Amino acid sequence: MKAAVIVFPGSNCDRDMMVGIEHSLGRKPEMVWHKETELPDVDFIAVPGGFSYGDYLRCGAMSAHSPIMREVVKKANAGVRVLGVCNGFQILTEAGLLPGVLMRNAKLKFICKDVHLKVENASTDFTSKYSAGQAIRIPVAHHDGNYFAADDVLKSIEDNNQVAFRYCDEAGNVSEEANINGSRNNIAGILNENKNVLGMMPHPERLCDAQLGGTDGKPLFDALVEALS
Amino acid sequence: MKAKVHVTLKNGVLDPQGKAVEHALGTLGFDGVGEVRIGKYIELELTDAAEKTKENIENMCKQLLANTVIENFDVEIVE
């Protein structure tokens, strides 16, 4: 697998993402500054979390029009695997690679804690090392993670198995109480129609090392390495 | 010449900020305030080089100023 991490002004999870990928891949991904107009020859691109452009206008709105994003969109449309985490998820929706939008959390608070996610679709290149229905523990840290899509869009996402992860309790029950930010249908992560683009609010790259408190994020990167080797 | 752009949430999209403000106004004793919806006002100065058509400003809205998944926009061009 050849991997790249896109770096925007205000990205702050880019190095965590680099280390997370390195743990599974055995070597560092290339770090690509947003002003670049070409991507190296890669088969996996990560768009990391942070506060790119200070969240001006709307989260991810400015970054979605950065020069490098034109290339990311091109590669994604050609089948390259793209992962957007947190602000990266917001950027991918603003760039039109994923449906819907991330709105302000329903209770208006910034949420920073570990949450549980139910793996809904375990037959993608991102999720094949999990089992369907499994509850995993992954940290979130966001103010705008309230997933919204119109009724018809939501229906097509559900019908096409595009929901990758839902907020749930420790036992894997998807409930209103477990829905930390008001997301429709408890959605924490979604795939595009072709399942080669994944956006998620929780941070798998932050739990790839037992010394950092857990390894539930590592199977996601292991799965990508296996699929793309 | 200026373009005035109002960006507002579509009907049916929950506005938790608006709800919080609505509640706060009630707490301050302002009775009779119904639903509060919060939007954005964007003022654009149009220099000689700008294409001063409503269509051009609407394209700016569609591509950047608004997210049409959840937002409507309204454009006014003034002298």
For A101-138, write each residue's pLDDT tens digit: 999 999 999 999 999 999 999 999 999 999 999 999 99
Percentage helix, strand, coil, to 5, in chain B? 30, 30, 40
**Closest CA in chain A for residue B67:** A94
With CB atoms and an 8 Å threshold, state whether A105 touches B16: yes
B53–chain A nearest CA distance, Å: 23
Q: Sort out which chain A residues have CB atoms less than 8 A from B65's CB and list them.
A: 57
A216-227 mean pLDDT: 98
Q: What is the per-residue pLDDT for A190?
A: 98
Q: What is the per-residue pLDDT for B9?
A: 95
Q: What is the per-residue pLDDT for B12?
A: 87
Q: What is the per-residue pLDDT for A56?
A: 94
Question: Which residues does A contribute to its contact with B (CB < 8 Å)?
Answer: 57-58, 61, 65, 93-94, 100-101, 103-108, 148-150, 182
Q: Sort out which chain A residues have CB atoms less than 8 A from B16's CB and list them.
A: 104-108, 182
B35-63 mean pLDDT: 95
With CB atoms and an 8 Å threshold, state whether A148 touches B69: yes
With CB atoms and an 8 Å threshold, state whether A61 touches B64: yes
Q: What are residue A142's DSSP bridge partners?
A: A111
Q: Sort out which chain B residues have CB atoms less than 8 A from A102's CB and list them.
A: none
Instruction: Provide the whole-model pTM.
Output: 0.95
A76-96 mean pLDDT: 98
What top-level class would CATH report for the domain A3-227? alpha beta
Q: What is the per-residue pLDDT for B71?
A: 97
Q: Sort out which chain B residues have CB atoms less than 8 A from A108's CB and list them.
A: 16-17, 20
Residues contacting residue A139 through CB under 8 Å, at least 6 positions apart = A112, A113, A114, A115, A202, A203, A206, A207
* Cα A177–Cα A181–Cα A200 angle in degrees, nearest 5: 115
Q: B2-78 is classed in which CATH architecture?
A: 2-Layer Sandwich (3.30)
A28-55 mean pLDDT: 96
| Residue A141 in tokens | 């840290």
Residues contacting residue A102 through CB under 8 Å, at least 6 positions apart = A59, A60, A89, A90, A93, A142, A144, A145, A146, A147, A148, A201
B79: pLDDT strictly greater than 90: no
With CB atoms and an 8 Å threshold, state whether B16 touches A104: yes
Average pLDDT of chain A, as a whole number: 97
For A137-174, write each residue's pLDDT tens digit: 999 999 999 999 999 999 999 999 999 999 999 999 99
Do A67 and A37 form a contact (C-beta atoms < 8 A)?
Answer: yes
DSSP state of B16: H
Is residue B43 less than 8 Å (CB to CB) from chain A? no
**Closest CA in chain A for residue B13:** A148
With CB atoms and an 8 Å threshold, state whether B13 touches A148: yes
Distance CA A29, CA B38 (A): 42
Secondary structure (H, E, C), chain A: CCEEEEECCCECCHHHHHHHHHHHHCCCCEEEECCCCCCCCCCEEEECCECHHHHCCCCCCCHHHCHHHHHHHHHHHCCCEEEEECHHHHHHHHCCCCCCEEECCCCCCCEEEEEEEEECCCCCCCCCCCCCCCEEEEEEEECCCEEECCHHHHHHHHHCCCEEEEEECCCCCCCCCCCCCCCHHHEEEEECCCCCEEEECCCHHHCCEHHHCECCCHHHHHHHHHHCC
Q: What is the per-residue pLDDT for B53?
A: 93
Instruction: Return left, alpha or beta for A20; rule: phi > 0 is left, psi -120 to 50 is alpha, else beta.
Output: alpha
Q: Where are the domains of chain A?
A: 3-227
With CB atoms and an 8 Å threshold, state whether A103 touches B13: yes
Active site residues of A: 86, 203, 205
Q: Sort out which chain B residues have CB atoms less than 8 A from A107's CB and list them.
A: 16
